[in-house]
Structure 1
Amino acid sequence: MTQFSNIPLAARVQDLQASKIRTIAELGMGEKDVLPLWFGEGAWPTSPFIVEAAVAALQGGNHMYQPNNGAMALREEIARYSNNLFGSDLDVRRITVTPSGMQGLMLTAGLLTSPGDRVVAISPGWPNINGAFAAQGAQIDTVPLLVKNGRWHLDLDQLLGALTPGTKAVVINSPNNPTGWIMPAEDQRAVLAHCRHHGIWIVADDVYSRLSRHENVAPSFLSIALPGDLLISVNSFSKCWSMTGWRLGWIVAPASLEEKLGQLTEFNTSCTAGFVQEAGRIALRDGEAEVADLRERIRIGYEITSQSLAQFEQVEFIKPDGAFYCFFRVRGLTDSFEAAKKILSETKVGLAPGVAFGPEGEGSLRLCYAQPEDRLTEAFARLAPFLNS
């Protein structure tokens, strides 16, 4: 077998770590009877009216290259949607369409960071966020989430203390994957003021902003930031509109970055497929009922999950405030990666290992509860012997 260490690659690429979530998933993909709860992906297909919009666009000849920053019709629809949702006042020049939220994070990392730049992130956190900045050679420092009164909590003073002069960016994913933690609006104001003072970029991963368990939308920096603030918000169609496989997202950034983001897109993917963009436009325009329906399905999934986990004495269930994950601790568990492999092998239930989300996640497992009731019920029946042992 070829060893990567013997191949002359860039040092920052050589040092990248494989996703342990993907490793577990690839062990089980294609296996019969596996219940795949490992990815951040709901179980339901994209709604027919969105699919039909893409088909109509293809049939209408929408096969060609698109503008680097995205089709103007979709950019305008994103501005309308964001302004209505967050109370912002976005100009279309601030919006760049991307082929996935993940690619939006990679564009952002490439735009902001040079090798050696310091970036601060929250942990536990989705590993791909840190990976995007690590791929640019950035130094990643983390601030841990803590458990307080049965909820995930961030020590704001600790975060602000980590945002020292010379820090290039802070990355905040709220609602958070995997914990479901949500940053309160008053904390966002404090972070924004601090970052203004020190000239630090805020990169807000807003992918789960509609999936708050307590309100229609989670607090967003877009509601409080000025047009010239050092803020980039990354979002995606994947979660709320069940479009994970479509690969469609967007960035909101200062208007002065429109040209540079277009250049980076040109050198990366050239553009996002036009018929996919049309599907996204229709999803935003006509999809509020779909979002509401998904939120209700997720609510039911949460109730089943929380009630099921409460039955196991070995499980510490920390209530999420948003997203659609349960990140639960198992007493005595010291190797979540090996545990996830064993669970997959013995129960045919696919879970993500907590250590994949940073050292603070060790001892935990993540389960995506955006699933039908019967699938979750079956999953917990299969997991019972492991969680009781």
Structure 2
Amino acid sequence: MVDAKILNSISSRARALEASKIREVAELGMKKDGVLPLWFGEGAWSTNPLIVDAAIASLKAGNHMYQPNNGMMALRQAICTYSNELLSSRLNPAQVTVTPSGMQGLMLTAEFLVSPGDRIVAVEPGWPNLIGAFKATGAEITSVTIVPKDGHWTLDVDGLIAELTPGTKAVVINSPNNPTGWIMSDEEQCLVLEHCRRFGIWIVADDVYTRLYRHGRHAPSFLSITEPEDLLISVNSFSKCWSMTGWRLGWIVAPAVFEGKLGQLTEFNTSCTAGFVQEAGITALRDGEEEIASLLEKIQTGYELSAERLNTFSRVEFIEPDGAFYCFFRVDGLTNSFAAAVEILEQTKVGLAPGVAFGPQGEGYLRLCYAQPVDVLEEAFVRLEPFLSK
């Protein structure tokens, strides 16, 4: 227990931070043998050797030094080429800042936008780190809730727009959504963009799962419909699509006029992203489409197995996701999802994320990452059956 006097000596924002409930469950599980870890948003597969070899070659070539704050120009250009081909965007390198992870990109975005007391509207349930970054910089959060309706996850977009009142600093949208798999449609994005343009409200788009879309090559993206000067920050990462969670590499897209300010903020945070890691990112973007196709095929197999099994349990209410790689399911009678996740871990050695970690709207739910081999998922459901059936 931290002494109260010592605790009070740190900033009020640091004192107010709450531990991630996902991380709490995972920390318990990491101390045990034989646990099936389905708690994080992380696939089970290693990074493609082409990408690994690019990093090794870069290290052997002597790429050991500091890099530009905003990232290597070759990677920034590769990101533009990738995005413009995929999304019909019109990016130029001045809009791109490379970050050591998507999470750092979110934190950089929050530091860039938020003054203490600023009003941020967020779509929830949502990844706790996404909201946490804005809370850590002093934002006041207003939530608009995704809800199950007629067998789909839906958002009242008119209700969202009604919350985007003059004086709101930004709206934070994660689509495809973690944990639900909800998608904001093209039409809905256009409505939100038009409103935000009218009132000078920033859009922060967490685009990490854009390629993990079950109905096409990519999910709808604000980058496809915005102009370069629009108040949009898109945050992305190499973690999910290229199986690079441990590499810590991401990027943000913002209006080019802020290239210098984002570089300055980077200088005072991490200074730069490692050059050899950036070289791996260039290879992923240029040569990684087969890797993405292979990953999507494995993820679809994992989804089909998981959906089939979940739908056999009478206590479980499960809605098909349109994107990402999670099953977010409600368990009848479950009122404390964190306690349930701990109990499941202790009794079955299956690690799940508690729904309450994604906001109060997630209470009563559990999240399972199905980006796993078939044999792992089959064993997980064998172990889970007593809990989900009782």
Same fold (TM over 0.5): yes
**What code does the residue aligned with 2:194 have?**
A
Mapped pair 1:366 → 2:367: yes
- Aligned residue for 1:175? 176
CA contact (8 A) 1:314 1:387 kept: yes
Paired residue type of 2:174: N
Deviations 1:66-101 (A, max 9, x none): 000000110010000000011011110000000000
Q: Hey, what does 2:2 align to over in structure 1?
A: 2
Per-residue deviation, 1:203: 0.2
Identical counterparts, % of pairs: 69
The aligned residue for residue 306 of structure 1 is: 307
Matched, 1:280 2:281: yes
Does 362-371 or 2-11 show the bigger shift?
Answer: 2-11
* 2:224 corresponding residue in structure 1: 223
Residue pair 1:5, 1:14 contacting (<8 A) in 2 also: no
Aligned to 2:53: 52
Residue by residue, what CA displacement relative to the aligned partner does 1:244-269 show, whole Å, maximum 9, x if unpaired?
00000000000001000000000000
**Aligned residue number for residue 322 of structure 1:** 323
Distance 1:147 1:33 in 2: 34
The residue that corresponds to 2:124 in the other structure is 123
1:340 aligns with 2:341: yes
Which residue number corresponds to residue 297 of structure 1? 298
Q: Which residue of 1 aligns with 2:78?
A: 77
Counterpart residue identity of residue 120, structure 1: V
Which amino acid letter does the alignment assign opposite residue 350 of structure 2? V
Rounded Cα–Cα distance in structure 1 between residues aligned with 2:359 and 2:75: 36
Q: 1:329-388, CA deviations, whole angstroms, 9 ceiling, x for partnerless residues?
A: 000000000000000000000000000000000000000000000000000000000001
Q: Distance in 2 between matches of 1:103 and 1:168?
A: 20
The residue that corresponds to 1:207 in the other structure is: 208
Q: 1:2 offset after TM fit, Å?
A: 1.8
1:4 Cα offset (Å) = 5.9
CA displacement at 1:30 relative to structure 2? 4.0
Hey, what's the Cα distance between the residues in 2 that align with 1:140 and 1:254? 24
Read off the aligned partner of 2:271 and give its amino acid letter.
S
Gaps of 5+ in 1: none
Q: Which amino acid aligns with 1:16?
A: L
The more displaced of 7-16 and 248-257 is 7-16
Would you say 1:232 and 2:227 are equivalent positions?
no
What is the match of residue 135 of structure 1?
A: 136
Offset of 1:10 from its aligned partner? Answer: 1.0
Could you tell me which residue of structure 2 aligns to residue 97 of structure 1?
A: 98
Separation in 2, partners of 1:216, 1:4: 52
Aligned-pair distance for 1:3?
4.0
* 1:264 equivalent in alignment to 2:271: no
Opposite residue 93 of structure 2, the aligned amino acid is: V
Look up the equivalent residue of 1:238 and give its one-letter code.
Answer: S
| Residues in 2 aligned to 1:217 and 1:92: alpha-carbon distance in whole angstroms | 22
Report the TM-score, using the length of structure 2 for normalisation. Answer: 0.99
Supply the AA of the counterpart residue of 1:263. Answer: Q
Could you tell me whether the CA contact under 8 Å between 1:298 and 1:371 is conserved in 2? yes
The answer to whether the 8 A contact 1:204-1:232 is kept is yes
Q: Distance in 1 between matches of 2:361 and 2:159?
A: 16
Give 4+ residue runs of structure 1 displaced > 6 Å after superposition: none
CA distance in 1, matches of 2:60, 2:388: 51
Q: CA deviation at 1:64?
A: 0.2
Q: Which amino acid aligns with 2:24?
A: T
Amino acid at match of 2:379: E
Distance 2:228 2:72 in 1: 22
Q: Aligned equivalents of 2:221 and 2:151: distance in 1?
A: 24
1:6, 1:120 → 2: CA distance?
A: 33
- Say which SS state the counterpart of residue 173 (structure 2) adopts: strand
d(CA) in 2 for partners of 1:91, 1:212: 25
Give the letter for the 1:92 counterpart: P
TM-score scaled by structure 1? 0.99
Q: Structure 2 unaligned runs (5+)? A: none
Q: How does 1:145-184 map to 2 (within 5 A)?
A: 145-184=146-185
The change in CA–CA distance for 1:226 and 1:121 in structure 2 (over 3 A counts) is same
Per-residue CA distance 1:216-272 (angstroms, 9 max, x = gap): 100000000011100000000000000000000000000001000000000000000
Indicate if the aligned counterparts of 1:328 and 1:364 stay in contact, CA closer than 8 A: yes
Give the counterpart letter for 1:218 in structure 2: A
Alpha-carbon distance between aligned partners in 1 of 2:279 and 2:5, rounded to the nearest angstrom: 44
Residue 19 of structure 1 is matched in structure 2 by 20
Aligned length: 389
Alignment check: 8 A CA contact 1:65 1:273 kept: yes
Q: Which one-letter code corresponds to 1:284 in the other structure?
A: L
SS of the residue corresponding to residue 146 of structure 2 reads: strand
Task: Give SS of 1:116's match.
Answer: coil
Q: Are the aligned partners of 1:68 and 1:263 in contact in 2 as well (CA < 8 Å)?
A: yes
